[in-house]
Copies of this chain bind each other. A is one copy, B any other.
Amino acid sequence: MNHQIESEVRSYCRSYTTVFERAAGAHMYSLQGAEYLDFLSGCGALNYGHNNPVLQDALLGYIQSGGIAMSMDMHTRSKSQFIDAFDSLILRPREMNYRLQFTGPTGANAVEAAIKLARKITGRTNVIAFTNGFHGCTLGALALTGNSHHRAASASLLSQVSRFPYDGYLGAGTDTCELLQKMLEDPSSGCDKPAAIILETVQGEGGLNHASAPWIRKLATVAKRNDILVIIDDIQAGCGRSGTFFSFEHMGIEPDMITMAKALSGFGLPMSMVLIKPELDHWLPGEHNGTFRGNNFAFVTARVALEHYWADDTFAQRLNSKIEMLHSELSTLAHRYGFHTKGRGFMQGIDLRDGALAEAVRARCFAAGLIIETCGPKGEVLKLLPPLTISEADMLDGIGRIEAALQATLSQPILANA
Q: Which residues of chain A have a CB within 8 Å of any CB of chain B?
A: 1-3, 5-14, 16-24, 28, 31, 42-46, 50-51, 56, 59-60, 63-77, 80, 83-84, 87, 91, 98-102, 104-109, 112-113, 116-117, 119-120, 124-126, 129-133, 136-141, 143-151, 153-163, 165, 169-170, 174, 178-179, 182-183, 186-193, 206-207, 261-262, 267-270, 274, 276, 278, 281-292, 295, 297, 376-378
**Within the assembled complex, what's the spacing in Å between the Cα atoms of A133 and B188?**
8
Closest 10 CB pairs of A and B: A70-B268, A139-B140, A146-B190, A11-B286, A159-B159, A188-B377, A9-B283, A104-B106, A120-B153, A7-B101
What is the minimal beta-carbon distance from A228 to any residue of chain B, in angstroms? 14
Q: Which residue of B lies closest to A46 (CB)?
A: B70
Q: Told that A2-B87, A125-B156, A262-B291 touch, could you supply 13 new A-B pairs with CB distance under 8 A?
A: A5-B91, A11-B285, A13-B73, A22-B68, A105-B106, A108-B138, A124-B155, A130-B190, A140-B140, A146-B188, A146-B189, A156-B156, A179-B179
Contact B31 A66 (CB under 8 A): no
Contact B75 A64 (CB under 8 A): no
Neighbouring B residues of A83 by C-beta, 8 Å: 2-3, 5-6
Neighbouring B residues of A7 by C-beta, 8 Å: 99-101, 274, 276, 281, 283
Copies of this protein, total: 4
**Within the assembled complex, what's the spacing in Å between the Cα atoms of A60 and B150?**
37
Q: Which residue of B lies closest to A41 (CB)?
A: B70
Contact A75 B188 (CB under 8 A): no
Neighbouring B residues of A283 by C-beta, 8 Å: 7-9
**Within the assembled complex, what's the spacing in Å between the Cα atoms of A131 and B80?**
37
Most chain B CB within 10 A, of A2, A141, A189, A190, is at A190
- Given the interface contacts A11-B286, A12-B72, A99-B7, does A188 sit within 8 Å of B67 by beta carbon? no
Contact B125 A139 (CB under 8 A): no
Contact B155 A5 (CB under 8 A): no
**Within the assembled complex, what's the spacing in Å between the Cα atoms of A7 and B101?**
5
**Within the assembled complex, what's the spacing in Å between the Cα atoms of A291 and B149?**
17
Contact B291 A77 (CB under 8 A): no
